[in-house]
Structure 1
Amino acid sequence: MAENNPKIYDIVIFGASGFTGKYVVREALKFLNVPNSPLHSLALAGRSPSRLSQALKWAARSDSPPKIPLLTADTSDPNSLSRVAAQAKIILNCVGPFRLYGEPVVAACADSGCDYLDICGEPEFMERMEASYHEKAVEKGSLVISACGFDSIPAEIGLLFHSKQWVGSSVPNRVEAYLSLESDKKIVGNYGTYESAVLGVANADQLAQLRKSRPRRARPDIPGPASGKGGSVMEHQKQLDLWALKLPSADSVVVRRTLATLTENPNGLPGVNESDERAKKREAFWSSIKPAHFGVKIASKSLLGLLPTVVLGLFLALLCKSAFGRWLLLKYPSVFSLGWFRKEGPTEDEVASATFKMWFVGHGYSDSSLASQGNKKPDTEVITRVSGPEIGYLTTPIVLIQSALVLLNDRDNLPKGGVFTPGIVFGPTDLQERIQENGVSFDFISKKALSP
C-alpha cells in the first residue's frame, strides 16, 4: 500500500446494511480490539447512515453498540468511494450484483492503493476487473481479490488441502466437488446470488467475448487424460450416497485461474517485503500442490432434492434472454426456484439451522509414471471434505473476515498489488487454519486403490 497515504481504518465494510453485510459486521465485531487480533479500527460504509446504524445495532445485538464510524458512500458517486478508499487499508465489498455495482469500488481501491476483497461469484465481473485494473493495482500497491466468500474460498482452499493428500509420487487427474446443503428447516438462498445468476445467464455472451479478446492463459500439466471430463450431467455418487447434478460453477472458473497463475509462477507470488524464511515456506507450499481438472456438482441425499435446481435452471435458460423474462424471474424468485430464493431472505432460525458439506472426490494415479501409459485408468481415489455452517450468511462472513485478517497480519509477505484469485494469494498463508478455528472444517476422509 502507498506509504505516503496514512490509513485511518484497518477495514471498511461497504454495503454493511445489506442482508449479507449485516452478518459480515457481526463477524468483524468478534475480532475488533481483542487480544492477538490485527483489527484495531473498523468503519461501515453505505448510502444511508440511519440504515448503517440499525445494522450495527443488529450486529452488536445491542441498542448501545460500539462507537464505529459510519461513512456515506454510493457506487453512483465515485468521489465518495475515493474518500473512503483513501482512509482504508482494506475495503470489504458486500454490494452486489457486482456486474452492476462492483467496478466503481474496484476502481477507487486500485487508484488509492487500498486493498479490496469481495464476496463475488460472477466470473464475467472478476475476469473483467483483472483485464481492466491489474496493471493499475500493481502500480499502486492494491491487492484486488474477488470471490472471498463461499464462492470460492471453501473450493479453492479445499482443493489445495485435497491436493496435499496426494503424497510422494501419487498424482490426481480429476477432482469432483459435491456440494450438499442441509437443514432441518427450509433452505433459503441469498437473493443477491439469485439476481447475479439471472444477470450472468442473460449476459453469458459478454463473458465469451471477453475471453476471446484476451491472451490465452497457461494451462497446467495434468497427468493422465487431457479432457478431464467429469462424467454425466446427473449421477448417483454411490460411495457418498448422493444424487448430483453438474453445475456451471464460479468455483471451477476461479480454480482454473489460480492454476493458470501457478503455471505461470511455479513458486507462487512473492511478497512485497518477504523474508527469506517466508519465501522458502511459500516455495515449499506450492511445490506440494499437484494440479487437477476440477468440477462442481450440487448434491442431495434424494433425487427429489435436486428438483429446485433443475427447475430454476430450466427457467433461467427459457426466460433470461428477454427483458420481460428477466423481469418475471427477478419479480417472483420464489415461484421460479420452488421457494429456494425469496426477496426477504431467510430468517435467523433458517440461517442458524443450515449447514453445508463439500466432498472432494479425487481420482488419479498411485505413481505419476502410470499416467503416461496410454489410456491407463486411474488406480487411486482420495476423498476429503470441507464442512461448515450456512453458506451465504455464516460461512461467507467467516471466510471474508479471516481473509481480511490475514491481509492485515501478513501484508509484507503477500504480493505488492494486482488482481488475483484467493487461492494464489492465500494458499501459503494460515487462512485454512484460521477458517478451521472459526467453524469451517477440513477433513481427510479416505484413500484407496481402485480396481482395474
Structure 2
Amino acid sequence: MEETPPPYDMIILGASGFTGKYVLKEALKFLRSSSSPSSSSPLKSIAIAGRNPAKLAQSLSWATHPNPPPQIPILTSDTSDFSSLLYVTSLTRLVLNCVGPFRLHGDPVVRACVQNGTDYLDICGEPEFMEKMEVEYHDQAIDKGCLVVSACGFDSVPAELGFMFNSRQFDIPNSVEAYLSLESDKKIVGNFATYESAVLGVANANVLRQLRKSRPKRPRPQIPGPPPPKGPTIEQKKELGLWAVRLPSADSAVVRRTLSILSANPSGLPGVNESADHIKKREAFWSTVKPAHFGVKIGTKSFLGILRLIAVGLFIGLLGNFSFGRWLLLKFPSFFTLGWFRKKGPTEDEVSSASFKMWFVGHGFSDSSTASLGNKKPDTQIVTRVTGPEIGYITTPIILVQCALITLSQRVDLPKGGVYPPGIVFGPTDLQERLQQNGISFDLISKA
C-alpha cells in the first residue's frame, strides 16, 4: 500500500525573516496554479512557517505586491518548540530553512526533518553547524531516506560550482584561488544574521577544532605537484584589478568536504533510483572534476578598502572572544563594521544595486610528465569567473529555490539520504545551467 504524500511540496521556515521573505518571493515565481501554470515547475503546493503568523502574512503581501497574495497556508512553528517542528516537517516533502544563526536554531529543525524522513535544505554558512549535523544525523538520515544539505545559498554554491567549472578546464589542476569582489552603485550593507554568525563563529572556534579532532580523519584527495606557496597577507592581483586578503568563510571547508567524499566515491554518490542514462551522466561528470588545493580571498579595488576589511576582521576577532565584547559587537554592528552591517538590514534600493564577481584563478600542469616531477611548478593558468546579483537577498534565494526544484523534480537521481555539502549532491545535475538561466553567469576568461 502506497503512503499518502504530504499535503505540501515545500515549506519555507522563517519566511518572515530578512532573507526568508526574498526566498518566498523567488519561490512564488515557480508555483504552479490554475491561472498561470508553470508547466516545467514541479512546485504545485507551498506553505510558509514561523513564530509570528501576522509577520508571515506581511511577508506574503510584500512578496506579491502590487498583486494580492495567493491563498498560501501559514503555519505556526518555533525552533524552541520541538513538537511544532515535528508537526510542520511532517506536512511536506521538503523544508527550506531560513532561520539563523543555525548554531542557535538549526539543530531541532534538522532533527525533526530526519525523524520524519523529510528532505532539508538551508542557507547556512557556519562550518561548525554543518559538520556537527553530519556527526549527529548522517547515519539516521541515510536510514530514513532523507537528504540534509546545508550551504545552498551564496555560501557555498558559487564556490563549489565555480571550483568545479575551473577544475574541469584543466587536464591536471594543482590549485584554485577564488577572489570575491562585492560591488554596488550605492552602499553595501550585509545581512545581520550573517554578521551574528561570524561573531559566534569566533566565540566557538575552539568547538569546531575539537569537533574535527574528535572525528576519524577524512580521506584526502591526491593532488599532483607541490602545495602552492602561502603568499603575502595582502595581495595585489593586478590582472583582476583587486587588492585581496584571505576570507575566513565556509567556502573552503565546504569544497574540501565535497572533495573528500569524492576521493572515497570517485564516481560520485549513486541516486536512490537513477536511470542507466543518469548513471552514465553522473560518472562522466565526476570523471572531469579533479581535486586541487582551494582557498578564498576577498578583494577590493583600493588598498584603503583592504585596510577597512582588516580593521573589521580585527574588531570581530578580538572582541568576539569574550562575552562583553560579543555584546558590544552585536549591539553596535554599524560602528564595529564601519557601516557594512546594521540591524535593520539593507534597503530595497541597496539590494537591487549590488552585485558580485567571484574570480577563480587556477594553476595546473599541461601534461602528466610535468606533473609527475614532484617539485615542478605548475605551467598553466586558467581564469574563470562567476557573476551575479546581490549575494544575500537575491543570489541566495535564486540558488536555494533552484536546489529545491531539482530536489523535487529529480529526487530519484539524488542520493537516498545523508548529510552532505551541496557540491557532491547537485554537481552532476543541471544546477549550473539553471543558475545561468536565472542571472548567475559562469565564464571562461583566459587560458595561459
Q: Normalising by structure 1, what TM-score?
A: 0.96
State the secondary structure of the residue aligned to 1:180: strand
Equivalences for residues 256-295 of structure 1 within 5 A: 256-295=256-295
128, 133, 152: which is aligned to 1:148?
Answer: 152
Counterpart of 2:256, as a letter, is: R
30, 38, 42: which is aligned to 1:38?
Answer: 42
State the secondary structure of the residue aligned to 2:90: helix
Deviations 1:48-98 (A, max 9, x none): 111000000001113620110001100011111111111111100000000
Counterpart of 2:275, as a letter, is: S
Counterpart of 2:387, as a letter, is: S
> Using the alignment, how far apart are the partners of 1:183 and 1:219 within structure 2?
39
Q: Is 2:57 the partner of 1:57?
A: no
Moved more, 125-134 or 157-166: 157-166
Equivalences for residues 407-446 of structure 1 within 5 A: 407-446=407-446
State the secondary structure of the residue aligned to 1:10: strand
- The answer for the alignment partner of 1:89 in structure 2 is 93
The Cα of 1:230 is off from its aligned counterpart by 4.4
State the secondary structure of the residue aligned to 1:340: coil
Deviations 1:204-224 (A, max 9, x none): 000000001100000001111
The Cα of 1:162 is off from its aligned counterpart by 1.1
**Aligned residues of 1:172 and 1:365 also touching (Cα < 8 A):** yes
- The answer for the alignment partner of 2:130 in structure 1 is 126
State the secondary structure of the residue aligned to 1:270: coil
The Cα of 1:247 is off from its aligned counterpart by 1.5
Q: Is 2:7 the partner of 1:8?
A: yes
State the secondary structure of the residue aligned to 2:351: helix
The Cα of 1:35 is off from its aligned counterpart by 2.0
Residue identity (%)? 67
Segments of 4+ moved more than 6 angstroms? none
> Using the alignment, how far apart are the partners of 1:266 and 1:24 within structure 2?
34
- The answer for the alignment partner of 1:255 in structure 2 is 255
The Cα of 1:372 is off from its aligned counterpart by 2.1
Structure 2 gaps of 5+ residues are: 33-37
Counterpart of 1:159, as a letter, is: F
The Cα of 1:238 is off from its aligned counterpart by 1.4
- The answer for the alignment partner of 1:190 in structure 2 is 191
- The answer for the alignment partner of 1:205 in structure 2 is 206
Moved more, 304-313 or 123-132: 304-313
- The answer for the alignment partner of 1:314 in structure 2 is 314
**Aligned residues of 1:12 and 1:90 also touching (Cα < 8 A):** yes
| Cα 1:322–1:193 shift into 2, 3 Å | same
Counterpart of 1:21, as a letter, is: G
The Cα of 1:381 is off from its aligned counterpart by 0.1
- The answer for the alignment partner of 2:173 in structure 1 is 172
> Using the alignment, how far apart are the partners of 1:374 and 1:330 within structure 2?
49
Equivalences for residues 232-247 of structure 1 within 5 A: 232-247=232-247
Counterpart of 2:338, as a letter, is: L
| Cα 1:5–1:216 shift into 2, 3 Å | farther
- The answer for the alignment partner of 2:16 in structure 1 is 17
The Cα of 1:3 is off from its aligned counterpart by 6.3
Deviations 1:171-216 (A, max 9, x none): 1111000000000100001101000000000110000000011000
Q: Is 2:382 the partner of 1:382?
A: yes
Counterpart of 2:251, as a letter, is: D
Equivalences for residues 214-233 of structure 1 within 5 A: 214-225=215-226, 227-233=227-233
> Using the alignment, how far apart are the partners of 1:292 and 1:228 within structure 2?
10
> Using the alignment, how far apart are the partners of 1:63 and 1:443 within structure 2?
36
Deviations 1:263-299 (A, max 9, x none): 0100100000011111111001000111110000001
**Aligned residues of 1:5 and 1:86 also touching (Cα < 8 A):** no
User: Across the two proteins, how many residue pairs are aligned to each other?
Assistant: 443
> Using the alignment, how far apart are the partners of 2:41 and 2:257 within structure 1?
31
> Using the alignment, how far apart are the partners of 1:344 and 1:154 within structure 2?
26
